[in-house]
Amino acid sequence: MVVPLPYILGLSVALFALGAIGVLIRRNILIILMCLEMMLNAVNLAFIAFADYFKAVDGQLFVFFVMVVAAAEVAVGLALVVAIFRQRATVYVDDLNILKW
């Protein structure tokens, strides 16, 4: 049976919103990065859904791009987290406020 498009989009929106909220309110950088991944994957889901709906491969193609970007982002992001932890002995964003003078 075919799952109707709005269902999938609804799931995608829910995932995206959850991810965004997580990014905004969680304090641990690792969690924030994971929430970021969730937002990206919510977008991926929407792409796939549309690709299936319109019977076009463009959406699936884009998903690969997003996954590549996400993989790169995670690699860089985690490296940064490790570096920050070494410097400051913390992974909580509340303690990382030196952007301000």
Partner 1 sequence: MIEYVWLIPVFPLIGFIINGLMGERLPKNLVGTIGAAMVGLSFALTVAIFLEYVKLPLEARPTEVTVYTWIASGTFKAVVAFLVDPLSLIMLSVVSGVSFVIHVYSVGYMHDDPGFPRYFAYLNLFVFFMLVLVGANNFLMMFVGWEGVGLCSYLLIGFWYQKQSASDAGKKAFVVNRIGDFGFLLGIFLIFWTFGTINFREVFELAAKYPVGSGVITAITLFLFLGATGKSAQIPLYTWLPDAMEGPTPVSALIHAATMVTAGVYMVARCSALYTLAPMSMMVVAIIGAATAIFAASMGMTQFDIKRVLAYSTVSQLGYMFLACGVGAFTAGIFHLMTHAFFKALLFLGAGSISHALSGELDMRKMGDMRKHIPITYWTFMIATLAICGIFPFAGFFSKDEILFHSLVDGHILYWGIATAAAFITAFYMFRAVFMVFFGKSRVEPEVAHHIHESPPVMTVPLMILAIGSAVGGLVGIPIIEGGHVFKEFLAPSIIHSTGLHEAHYTITFEVGMMLFSMLVAVVGIFVAYRMYIKKPELPTVVAQKFRVAYDLIFHKYYVDEIYDMAVVEPIKDSSTFLWKGVDNQVVDGAVNGSAGVVSYLSAHFRKLETGFLQNYALAIVLGVALIVGYLVGL
The nearer residue to partner 1, 87 or 97, going by C-beta atoms, is 97
- Residue 22 CB, nearest approach to partner 1 (Å): 11
Residues 27/96, Cβ–Cβ less than 8 Å:
no
The nearer residue to partner 1, 64 or 85, going by C-beta atoms, is 85
Query: Tokens 């997580």 belong to which residue?
Result: 22
What is the binding site for partner 1 (CB under 8 A)? 20, 23-25, 93-94, 96-100
Q: Is 49 exposed, middle or buried (0-12, 13-18, 19+ CB in 10 A)?
A: buried
d(CA 34, CA 27): 12
- Residue 57 CB, nearest approach to partner 1 (Å): 27
The nearer residue to partner 1, 1 or 24, going by C-beta atoms, is 24
